[in-house]
Amino acid sequence: MPNQPSPQPSAPRKANASEALTPSDLSKEGWIRELHPSTCLIQAGSAPYALLMTMPIWPRAKTTAELRDSFKESATALGLYDEANPHAEANYTRAVQRYLQQLGEGGFLFCRKVGNRPTYGIPATLHAALRDTPQHQGIALADALRAEVMIRSVPPIIAKMQHQPTPDTPFSGKIAVISETLPHQHPEVNEAIFSCLAHALAEGHKLVLAYVKQNGERKVDVMASPLALMQRGPMLYLLCRLRDNAAVAEIALSRITKAQPLPESPSDTAGFSLAAHMESGRPQFCPNGEKLAIKLRLFGTTAMTIRERPIADDQVVSDTEDDAIAELTATVFDSAMLRWWLLGLGTHVEVLAPPSLRQEMCDTLTHTLAHYTA
């Protein structure tokens, strides 16, 4: 590391990692100023600097092993890790440990032990200062956008559980996130029930639930094995197995009225894969997982919109002799979401194939028209 002079304190004092930083703490030469005057400077672009960039904002924290994994891509780019070297892992691990010691002694890190393992994080103010440099403004914009998406999309019970508010950035007040469909308010979720479900998921034990089905039917004293949490639109769902049924049920958290933990009863999670469930079509209300090869006629600017946001990997949008008309082919889940999407496009779409879907759309629109002409 370059040998740069550091300001000398008038009297020695201990490092204070919570001392406030501002973006001005980053000098024009690209150096991060120390959190207290007795520490060294860290040069932007250096390995310790790059490691700092992988740190979570306290009180979130990562173990040394987690930091090694998240830092490896940057370390490879900096020439610190070469997988062709038989000693690469050992050298890389020692380098990370050395940088952590250096950053810790410099007061850049918060550290706490979880069991026997130290975990590390950085103050939100330092996080903001790191991303105030020109080369990282893209990261800062991405962070600000992620934060705004989170604030706008997650239910209030999740948003209020954030440990720290999003720090002010140069992009505050410059990002907006809106819903493409008619916005819906988030239904209320009981905080005690949410905490109980979270504990059961984390610890892997069963629950006794009481809930109300969508049709109004009440279920009580139902044994459930929690599997995962899923958000669809404004709704949170518990994915679980009920009683001894191997099928995966989706229960809206807002409809759960009681959750009683059974810590002595291990949850039945054998064979469950969240990724497989997401790819099964069920989250799109396609219970059988079947797919359809569809052909649509698109009118107006709809073709441009769908070209920008494809509905399937095999989507093809072809122009016709009429500049205002295009045709689309794609393979999609035979789902309720498909039908809602087609109806939402209204006069901007015509289903050409398969014939069964075309007839279904025709019948639905005929019945809809009857509401307005009766």
3-state secondary structure 217-267: CEEEEEEEEEEEEEEECCEEEEEEEECCCCCCEEEEHHHEEEEEEEEEEEC
Q: Confirm if 248 and 277 have CB atoms less than 8 A apart.
A: yes
For 265-284, b/e burial (b = at least 16 CB within 10 A) is eebbeeebeeeebeebbbbb
Distance from C-alpha of 184 to C-alpha of 187, rounded to nearest angstrom: 9
Distance from C-alpha of 272 to C-alpha of 274, rounded to nearest angstrom: 7
- Closest by CA to 207, choosing from 216, 220, 189, is 220
Q: Confirm if 237 and 227 have CB atoms less than 8 A apart.
A: no
Structure-token pair, residue 244 = 């001894």
Taking 50 as the pLDDT cut, the residues of the chain under it are 1-40, 164
Distance from C-alpha of 281 to C-alpha of 131, rounded to nearest angstrom: 39
Distance from C-alpha of 297 to C-alpha of 312, rounded to nearest angstrom: 16
Structure-token pair, residue 280 = 């099964």
- Closest by CA to 15, choosing from 33, 40, 38, 43, is 38
* CA pseudo-torsion sign 104, 109, 113, 117: negative
- Which amino acid, residue 34? E
Q: Confirm if 32 and 40 have CB atoms less than 8 A apart.
A: no
Dihedral of the alpha carbons of 39, 42, 47, 51, in degrees to the nearest 10 = 80
Q: Confirm if 116 and 13 have CB atoms less than 8 A apart.
A: no
Distance from C-alpha of 79 to C-alpha of 71, rounded to nearest angstrom: 12
- Closest by CA to 260, choosing from 226, 213, 227, 221, is 221
Asked whether the whole model's pTM tops 0.85, one would answer: no
CB burial of residue 372 (10 Å; 0-12, 13-18, 19+) = exposed
Distance from C-alpha of 187 to C-alpha of 183, rounded to nearest angstrom: 12
Instruction: For 332-352, write each residue's pLDDT tens digit.
Output: 999 999 999 999 999 999 999
Residue 12, preceding peptide bond in cis (omega within 30° of 0): no
Q: Confirm if 39 and 105 have CB atoms less than 8 A apart.
A: yes
Angle at 242 between CA 238 and CA 247, to 5 degrees: 85
- Residues contacting residue 370 through CB under 8 Å, at least 6 positions apart: none
Structure-token pair, residue 197 = 């479900």
Helices (H) and strands (E) counted in the chain, each on its own, are: 11, 14
Instruction: For 156-172, write each residue's pLDDT tens digit.
Output: 777 776 554 555 567 77
Q: Confirm if 222 and 210 have CB atoms less than 8 A apart.
A: yes
**Residue indicated by tokens 């960039």:** 53
CA distances (Å), origin 318, targets 135, 302, 311: 41, 12, 15
